[in-house]
Structure 1
Amino acid sequence: MAPHWRAGAQVLAVTLGIMQCCGWLSAQTIRTSVGMMGRRPEPWPMSHERVKRGWVWNQFFVVEEYTGTEPLYVGKIHSDSDEGDGSIKYTISGEGAGTVFIIDEVTGDIHATERLDREEKTFYTLRAQARDRLTDAPLEPESEFVIKVQDINDSEPKFLEGPYIGSVAELSPIGTSVMKVMASDADDPTYGSSARIVYSVLEGERVFTVDRQTGVIRTAVADLDRETQDRYELVVKATDMAGQMGGLSGSTTVTIVITDVNDNPPRFPQKMYQFSVSEDAAVGTSIGRVIATDADMGENTDMSYLIKDEEGGELFRVSTDGDTQEAIITIKKPLDFENKRSHNVVVEAVNKHVDPRFVDLGSFRDQTIVRVSVSDVDEPPIFIPSIGTIMEVQEDARLGALVGIVTARDPDMDNVPIRFSIDQSTDQEQIFNIDPVTGAITLGKILDRETAGWHNITVTAVEADNQSMASQTAVSIRILDVNDNPPELATPYEASICEDAKPGQLIHTISVVDRDEPQSGHRFYFTLAPEASNNRHFTLWDIKDNTAGIRTQRSGFNRQEQNVYLLPILVVDSGPPALSSTGTLTIHVCGCDTDGAIQSCNATAYVMSAALSPGALIALLVCILILIVLVLLILTLKRHRKGQRMSEDEEDMRDNVIKYNDEGGGEQDTQAYDMSALRSLYDFPEVKNSDSGPELHPVPQWIQNRVVGDGGPADFTVFKGYIRKKVEQADADLSVPPYDSFQTYAFEGSSSPALSLSSIRTLSTTSEQDFSYLSDWGPRFRQLAGYYAPAQPEEEGS
């Protein structure tokens, strides 16, 4: 069958189905029409030849929700090879074959045996087969066809997302979109109007409207007020068939919450509040709390508080409690009952978050009056001024002089008399006195600014009839300076100059210190003291900046002639009165190299004076003087004793005898002692008669034994002559040392067990170096000359 015939059959089948639903055609008429639709119209006979034809259908339609007692005729399948003699058998297979759909094997009629629901299944796909009834051989190839379930309006609209909750701000304008609702219909939206839905409001239509096509809910009024009604319940209906009669409908509930805007100002419940506080309440003490209410909610109720009147703003402070939104009123400055007994404070409440859209609706602030009553208490005295007093007095003020007056009063209404005193812990030396009634401070001791320039005392004031009511204030007393100290050189200045110093050379710069502190500052004048004004060595140059320079006036200094110059300098201050003092600059003359660097000065004096203070130098000089006196005294005593001994023995020279106790190293050792005296032994002139010399004592036996031995006579002539000659030379020569410095030469003596260690052993007359006979002389050598002077005992080897 040609495609355009099949398309025409489909359109016809759909049309017949709609007419059946509307009751315009009966089922029998439809069945006849459908059966006829399965055949292709016979063409005009042009040839008597038989043409092979195939299946003549594509799809069938069946109306859903059929409620009849007989099976519902769906359609007919027919092969153009069927001659109507019953030789062809028709069968179907696929979805619902044999259960939902059955076929008449002979006629090919298909019926639906069950009630179909398009919302559950919209179409069924089946396959048809035409076979030879006798041989069961297929006469046509198996072909697939579709049975579509035709929709009827059997499903109402449903709101799948309900119930709905929306919100809109109060005072929103008309037409403000609130939310959107949506319903769905299970019917076929492509067939008829079964799924065409329209919306409407069943309840609350005065306040809100809904768009029929889109389901958008909008405000219908502009005076929504959250404070009057904060939510609305709407019933929205959805109807299919585009709202026509016979359409199905469904409904849902929509809750619309009215949100708050800051359209209400704060309001104080009272126009006046009253509190009481004691005048001695500390700063920061809370007086009370007030609160303003706000019909709004959330952050729109947040507010701040202000004090509007100037006086209340000086004495009180207001803050906001963030949790309770209360205004906390506290004391900002101390209160005074005697000054003012009550205060009216204007407190204003203001919203923090003001919506500019609603400013015109009214003022978003409110005010109330807080009356604060101050109660009286007994208070301690108050000093005037209250932060301390500074007084001044000259350091040369006399005892009892007035320094200043402190003042205090009783702040209470009774005005009790006040008594004053000085805290002794701040004036332990009792330098100041105070009159207990008048508060006059006077001097109790003489002042000295150089010792203490300031005095800080504490004055106490108490009520005369209540000692517990006391207060204190600090009094600072400045001691004004008077010029009572002369200026002085800053240090004991010392300077050094070279011997070849040139005229005009700067030696040293001096400065001055003054213990005074004049109001206009120090100004010092320098000049040489009168006793040094005519010196021709140095000049003084006043630099005019409280210092002075010392310069040389000539050249050619010689430290051999004078190595130290003392230059007195007169220093005068600017007064009044002008005071002066004289200081000394010590100038040392030193030897310098070609570059002017000092090489040497009077080292001992310079070092001692530089290293020691004047007191230490004086003490050192006193000690040296005492030592010199002691030495002179000892020497005088010794001379006195020597005089006594000389009266007994005029030739006693033992006091200051210089002894040589070094044994020496033999002939080669010529440095041990002076040999010149003995070397001139043979140069003496002829020895005089023994009567002309001093009486000689007998030579002891030990000397005789040492000189001549045990067997022969002793010959002492040479020794006597030697000693005598020496004495005569000493008496005749005025340049020789005095008798108490006479040089003697002692022999070792006989008591040494080691005998002599000298290499001079034999007496020789051929050489003046041969003095072997002297090696055995002992410490009693002086007895040979007739003088008795015991020698100190000598250890061997000394």
Structure 2
Amino acid sequence: TSADPMSFGRRYVIVNPKNGKLLPLDREQTPYHQLILSAVDGGTPDKTGTAKINVRVLDSNDNPPVFDNSVYKVKLLENSPKNTLVIKLNATDLDEGTNSEVYYSFSSYTPERVRQMFSMDTHTGEIRVRSNMDYEETNSYEMYIQVVDVNDNVPQIVLSSLSSPVREDARADTVVALISVTDRDSGANKQVSLEIPAGLPFKIKSFRNYYTLVTSAFLDRETTDAYNVTLSATDGGKPPLSSQKTIQVDVADVNDHPPRFEQTSYTVYVTENNAVGASLCTVKAQDADIKENARITYTVLNDNNHGIPVTSYVSVKADTGEAYALRAFDYESLREFHFQVKAQDGGIPPLSRIATVYIYVMDSNDHAPLIVTPAGNGTRSQETVQKNADPGALVTKWWPMMQMQVQMPGWCMCSRQPQTWTYSKCMSTQGRSGPPDASWKTTPPHLL
């Protein structure tokens, strides 16, 4: 190929193997060509691959009909009856198919008296006697025959090639299809224009009866994944004839959308002493692309929490985004932490997004209270009281400590072991008083 004024920048030629000259294709001379395509890489030594290409040259109506003779002479008896065959003309066309069909008629140079005397069959080329002839009146007739064309053929749309699907990031003027249009008529009747509907991201570029369908704007598969493009060919006849052909152009996906999480952050509350492997939550992301470009893989980003890798606390299933605990959490040592989950698609190059998961460990009542004052020896504490103490005098106070149980109210129930005193209860901020009727002179030490 070489550059020329064609709007699509190509014209088809062959190379003369003897002198290297470029020659236009001529179907009537060589209807088929066999080419060998070679591809050479840049290695050392280089490697070569070959492929055979068989080219069939399509016909173009570039040859006029030719009569067997330029001049025909016929003798007739003057008394020849009507419909007598005068001569059967024959014209041939080197083109093929409809381009080689021939129609006959008298030319405009043929006198009217000849037209009245003879008739012409437009399809067969037969000339016959129409009226009675009189030698004494006219001893010769001269007629001019031409091949005529009437606009009785609709344009034919031929799709030479179609590149579908087209990448959604294809540049403007990317060639989608090569199209040719033929019309069996001649003159203005064979002058054809090709159009497509407005509003499509495509346009037609033309040179004579050859056309290219190219992109005119960027495509977006997520908006429209396929286009039905109707090609309309109309000739220049009066009245004009037209034909249509619809082609489907699919749009190929490009990885131009990253995964998108349903939430940018997740908050999870989990009670301490959970089971190892317990499900914490499921993070979910969607991708507007398709196939591999939309296949999402979830991973936990490696980060430290209080000096310990967060991956030792939690793990995420790569295909579902379900997060689960790798250990039992202890509220007294770890009350909250967070980790990040990355959702990455399978495109080349891959795209990704990140979401943050906040974990709050809830307290459970897993520790008994301790009495921290008065401090005793082991589990006992000895207190003294004056023997003449008034009833209701303060003996001692004790302070129970709720071990780390701070999420529940700091209430505790206190009672003495069964001895001589009755049951009592107190809040953690109250003291224990002696009974008003105790006999301080006769009663031995009491164990509470």
TM-score, L = length of structure 2: 0.54
What amino acid is the match of 2:203? I
Choose from 64, 84, 101 the match for 2:202: 101
Q: Give yes or no for contact 1:60–1:147 (8 Å, CA) kept in 2.
A: yes
Choose from 195, 202, 205 the match for 2:301: 202
Choose from 371, 377, 391 the match for 1:268: 371
Distance 2:184 2:228 in 1: 24
Distance 1:297 1:55 in 2: 84
Choose from 192, 203, 212 the match for 1:88: 192
Map of 1:794 onto structure 2: none
Q: Give yes or no for contact 1:92–1:128 (8 Å, CA) kept in 2.
A: yes
Choose from 316, 322, 330 the match for 1:216: 322
Q: Residue 205 of structure 1 aligns to a residue in which SS?
A: helix
1:354-753 → structure 2 map (5 Å cutoff): none
Displacement of 1:128? 2.4
Map of 2:289 onto structure 1: 187
Q: Give yes or no for contact 1:62–1:74 (8 Å, CA) kept in 2.
A: yes
Distance 1:202 1:93 in 2: 51
Q: Which blocks of at least 5 consecutive residues in structure 1 are unaligned?
A: 1-32, 40-47, 346-798
Relative distance call for 1:265 and 1:87 in structure 2 (3 A) is same
Q: Give yes or no for contact 2:166–2:251 (8 Å, CA) kept in 1.
A: yes
Displacement of 1:112? 0.9
Map of 1:236 onto structure 2: 341
Q: Once the two structures are superposed, what CA deviation does each residue of 1:252-292 show, in whole Å capped at 9, x if it has no partner?
A: 11111122222222222233476969744359x99745332
Map of 1:259 onto structure 2: 362
Relative distance call for 1:306 and 1:144 in structure 2 (3 A) is farther
Displacement of 1:303? 3.7
Relative distance call for 1:102 and 1:327 in structure 2 (3 A) is same
Displacement of 1:88? 1.5
Relative distance call for 1:72 and 1:228 in structure 2 (3 A) is same
Q: Give yes or no for contact 1:166–1:257 (8 Å, CA) kept in 2.
A: yes
Distance 2:184 2:421 in 1: 119
Distance 2:156 2:216 in 1: 28
Displacement of 1:75? 1.7
Relative distance call for 1:292 and 1:103 in structure 2 (3 A) is same
Displacement of 1:150? 1.4
Displacement of 1:154? 1.8
Relative distance call for 1:245 and 1:221 in structure 2 (3 A) is farther
Q: Residue 108 of structure 1 aligns to a residue in which SS?
A: strand
Structure 1 or 2, whichever has the larger Rg, is 1
What amino acid is the match of 2:340? V
Q: Give yes or no for contact 1:162–1:253 (8 Å, CA) kept in 2.
A: yes
Map of 2:240 onto structure 1: 137
Relative distance call for 1:79 and 1:294 in structure 2 (3 A) is same
Q: Residue 196 of structure 2 aligns to a residue in which SS?
A: strand
Displacement of 1:166? 1.4
Choose from 386, 391, 396 the match for 1:281: 391
Whether 2:408 is the aligned partner of 1:304: answer no
Q: Give yes or no for contact 2:270–2:361 (8 Å, CA) kept in 1.
A: yes
Q: Give yes or no for contact 1:180–1:217 (8 Å, CA) kept in 2.
A: yes
Distance 2:425 2:287 in 1: 62
Map of 1:171 onto structure 2: 273
Q: Residue 253 of structure 1 aligns to a residue in which SS?
A: strand
Displacement of 1:177? 0.8
What amino acid is the match of 1:237? K
Distance 1:127 1:133 in 2: 20
Distance 1:275 1:118 in 2: 90
What amino acid is the match of 1:229? L
Distance 1:301 1:136 in 2: 100
Distance 2:421 2:167 in 1: 93
Q: Once the two structures are superposed, what CA deviation does each residue of 1:158-212 show, in whole Å capped at 9, x if it has no partner?
A: 21312111132322232111110111112124xxx11111111113212110001
Q: Give yes or no for contact 1:318–1:327 (8 Å, CA) kept in 2.
A: no
What amino acid is the match of 1:108? Y
Q: Residue 260 of structure 2 aligns to a residue in which SS?
A: coil
Distance 1:225 1:296 in 2: 12
Higher RCO (CA-CA < 8 Å; seq separation 6+): 2
Relative distance call for 1:341 and 1:228 in structure 2 (3 A) is same
Task: Calculate the aligned-residue CA RMSD, in Å.
Answer: 4.0
What amino acid is the match of 1:175? G
TM-score, L = length of structure 1: 0.32
Q: Residue 117 of structure 1 aligns to a residue in which SS?
A: coil
Q: Give yes or no for contact 1:236–1:252 (8 Å, CA) kept in 2.
A: yes
Relative distance call for 1:56 and 1:181 in structure 2 (3 A) is farther
What amino acid is the match of 2:191? S
How many corresponding residue pairs?
Answer: 284
Whether 2:217 is the aligned partner of 1:114: answer yes
What amino acid is the match of 2:320? T
Q: Once the two structures are superposed, what CA deviation does each residue of 1:191-241 show, in whole Å capped at 9, x if it has no partner?
A: xx111111111132121100010010011124x211111112111111111
Percent of aligned positions that are identical: 20
Map of 1:157 onto structure 2: 259
Relative distance call for 1:71 and 1:268 in structure 2 (3 A) is same
Q: Give yes or no for contact 2:174–2:215 (8 Å, CA) kept in 1.
A: yes
Distance 1:181 1:136 in 2: 66
Q: Once the two structures are superposed, what CA deviation does each residue of 1:441-483 show, in whole Å capped at 9, x if it has no partner?
A: xxxxxxxxxxxxxxxxxxxxxxxxxxxxxxxxxxxxxxxxxxx
Displacement of 1:52? 8.6
Q: Residue 194 of structure 1 aligns to a residue in which SS?
A: helix
Displacement of 1:319? 1.3
Displacement of 1:90? 0.5
Relative distance call for 1:296 and 1:55 in structure 2 (3 A) is farther
Q: Give yes or no for contact 2:261–2:353 (8 Å, CA) kept in 1.
A: yes
Structure with greater proportional strand content: 2
Displacement of 1:250? 1.7
Q: Which blocks of at least 5 consecutive residues in structure 2 are unaligned?
A: 1-52, 60-95, 99-152, 303-309
Whether 2:395 is the aligned partner of 1:290: answer no
Relative distance call for 1:255 and 1:56 in structure 2 (3 A) is farther
Q: Choose 205-214 or 161-170, whichever is displaced more.
A: 161-170
Q: Give yes or no for contact 1:291–1:327 (8 Å, CA) kept in 2.
A: no
Relative distance call for 1:107 and 1:290 in structure 2 (3 A) is same
Q: Give yes or no for contact 1:319–1:327 (8 Å, CA) kept in 2.
A: no
Distance 1:252 1:201 in 2: 10
1:18-29 → structure 2 map (5 Å cutoff): none
Distance 2:184 2:368 in 1: 95
Map of 2:439 onto structure 1: 336
Q: Give yes or no for contact 2:395–2:434 (8 Å, CA) kept in 1.
A: yes
Relative distance call for 1:232 and 1:261 in structure 2 (3 A) is same
Q: Give yes or no for contact 1:59–1:146 (8 Å, CA) kept in 2.
A: no
Distance 2:261 2:184 in 1: 54
What amino acid is the match of 1:71? D
Q: Give yes or no for contact 2:372–2:398 (8 Å, CA) kept in 1.
A: no
Map of 1:63 onto structure 2: 167
